[in-house]
């Protein structure tokens, strides 16, 4: 059984920092929240690694918002609802799409240099969007450009401090209310940050899968910590697989932006034939879940290990629009201007997470969550491309406005003891991680069934019996325990949802079942 805390502690004997609001995570959601704080509010941002290790930094495609005169908030709203396969929260989507333009205007005022055509902002179209509404920067380096500018602004503000290389162990609770967090340094030292409110912006858990576009730190530590603190989780079964990631021996699963298809790239099979029109009227610009499963079906039909993305139709535009992608591919001897690129789907984004309201509040008082760590209701069963950065911008600001209203609390000594736990140097942590990621990729990936899910659950239960009863004084060990915890909850949710909806496809239940399952899954320790 998962413990309520990972490590024993006593705040009386630990070094301590204080803040009005503690933010865990340095991606766009956490940084946007920090910048929304009044200048006299003391903010600490704790990062697992460097701030740039967040998924935001690697986001290529862009950020969607209805700013073009050819677009409207209503169209963006409708596209998001349609992509979400019946599980979007309409009020949350309304907030996202209606407040999105103002959030982008705020970035422009900060000096974020979005690409332009002449003096006008340059918009592109991605899958399942009915209009060109995706803004980009430096071609395909949108996340890096935005995050760099946000960090530059934060570095000029005296009320915000960024603390790198702090692994979140657990959320501290005082009388059932979040009162800070316990952290472990890379050197194995425990410390405490006390705060009036805690905002988790620590990202998702797509690295639970062997093939993933995410950086190594995306292991869901914030989701697991919130679960141990009693927060409700929701929709963990919905893991989005990006259709087009580089598939080459020895190369990382490098994402090739969906914007490439928006600009004219096409998918072809091993025979060189286009195939997407067989599967969906939207062809290469169908929703992500449809494209990913269509690629899988095409691979199964042809017996190939990949399909190909043909970017040659972009011509000279390719190098200007996608310089990062082209350089990365060329470093592996692939020139997208001359040859199709081998690709296949990889785990990319988690729609489920900590359940929140419109202001980022969780079911635990004083604990907020924003960005991919959440189930805010905006993505439903399948995220619309380029809505993720927008979610971080919009809901980060809303969470901070609510969090700063919390009155200051008197600090009390907090402690937790663990019984029946032993030191665990004899456990091969990396072997467990590799085995778990392979298991989920094989059994609970793009396609699942009751048989494959139950096999995964049995294996995870077995691993838990001799790993969760150990104390690890280094981040990789605690990270592995978090991964097992989330994997168990994911397979439980996937087994419960006996239908196929959005990113969740059950081969034994291949159809929608609105009567029984047009609702969110929910899990909590309470």
Residues classed as catalytic = 288
Q: Which positions ≥6 away from 85 have C-beta within 8 Å? A: 289, 380, 381, 382, 501, 502, 512
Q: CA 183 to CA 185: how far, in whole Å?
A: 7
233, 364 contact by CB (below 8 A): no
Q: CA 469 to CA 422: how far, in whole Å?
A: 6
Neighbour tally for 505: CB within 10 Å: 19
Q: Could you please report the per-residue DSSP string of 369-409? A: E-GGGEE-SSSTTSPPTT-HHHHHHHHHHHHHHHHTTSPP-
Residue 61, Cα to own-chain centre: how many angstroms? 15
Task: Kindly report the length of the chain.
Answer: 526
Where do the H-state alpha helices sit in 59-89? Answer: 73-83
C-alpha dihedral over 268, 447, 429, 22, to 10 degrees? Answer: 90
239, 209 contact by CB (below 8 A): yes
Beta bridge partners of 344: 245
Task: Select from 306, 304, 305, 262 the least CA-distant residue to 284.
Answer: 262
């Amino acid at each position: 059984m998962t413990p309520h805390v990972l490590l024993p502690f006593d705040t009386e004997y630990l070094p301590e920092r204080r803040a009005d609001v503690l933010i865990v995570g340095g991606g766009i959601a956490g940084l946007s929240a920090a910048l929304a704080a009044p200048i006299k509010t003391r903010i600490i941002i704790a990062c697992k690694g460097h701030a740039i290790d967040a998924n935001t930094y690697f986001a290529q495609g862009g950020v969607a918002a209805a700013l073009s005169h050819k677009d409207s908030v209503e169209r963006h709203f409708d596209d998001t609802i349609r992509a979400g396969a019946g599980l979007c929260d309409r009020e949350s989507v309304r907030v996202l799409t209606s407040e999105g333009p103002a959030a982008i205007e705020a970035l422009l005022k900060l000096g974020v240099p979005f690409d332009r055509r002449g003096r006008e902002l340059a918009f592109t179209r991605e899958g399942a969007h009915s209009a060109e509404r995706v803004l980009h920067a430096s071609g395909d380096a949108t996340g890096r450009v935005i995050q760099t500018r946000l960090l530059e602004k934060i570095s000029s503000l005296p009320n915000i401090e960024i603390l790198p290389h702090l692994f979140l162990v657990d959320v501290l609770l005082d009388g059932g209310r979040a009162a800070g967090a316990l952290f472990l340094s890379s050197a194995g030292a425990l410390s405490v940050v006390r705060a009036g409110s805690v905002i988790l912006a620590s990202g998702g858990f797509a690295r639970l899968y062997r093939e993933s576009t995410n950086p190594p730190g995306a292991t869901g530590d914030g989701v697991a910590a919130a679960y141990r603190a009693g927060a409700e989780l929701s929709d963990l079964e919905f893991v989005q697989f990006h259709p087009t990631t580089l598939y080459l021996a020895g190369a990382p699963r490098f994402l090739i932006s969906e914007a490439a298809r928006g600009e004219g790239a096409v998918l072809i099979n091993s025979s060189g034939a286009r195939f997407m029109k067989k599967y969906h009227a939207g062809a290469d610009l169908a929703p992500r879940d449809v494209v990913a499963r269509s690629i899988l079906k095409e691979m199964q039909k042809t017996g190939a290990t990949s399909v190909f993305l043909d970017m040659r139709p972009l011509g000279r535009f390719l190098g200007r629009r996608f310089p990062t992608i082209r350089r990365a591919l060329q470093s592996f001897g692939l020139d997208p201007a001359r040859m199709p690129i081998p690709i296949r789907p990889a785990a990319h984004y988690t729609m489920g997470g900590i359940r929140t309201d419109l202001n980022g509040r969780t079911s635990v008082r004083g604990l907020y969550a924003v960005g991919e760590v959440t189930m805010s209701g905006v993505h439903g069963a399948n995220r619309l491309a380029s809505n993720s950065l927008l979610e971080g911008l919009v809901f980060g600001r809303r969470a901070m406005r609510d969090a700063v209203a919390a009155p200051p609390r008197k600090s009390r000594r907090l402690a937790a003891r663990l019984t029946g736990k032993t030191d665990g140097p004899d456990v091969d942590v990396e072997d467990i991680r590799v085995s778990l990621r392979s298991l989920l990729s094989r059994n609970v990936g793009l396609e699942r069934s009751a048989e494959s899910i139950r096999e995964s659950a049995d294996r995870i239960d077995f691993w838990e019996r001799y790993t969760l009863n150990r104390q690890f004084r280094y981040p990789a060990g605690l990270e592995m325990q978090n991964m097992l915890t989330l994997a168990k909850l994911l397979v439980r949710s996937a087994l419960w949802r006996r239908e196929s909806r959005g990113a969740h496809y059950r081969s034994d239940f291949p159809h929608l079942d609105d009567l029984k399952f047009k609702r969110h899954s929910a899990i909590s320790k309470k």
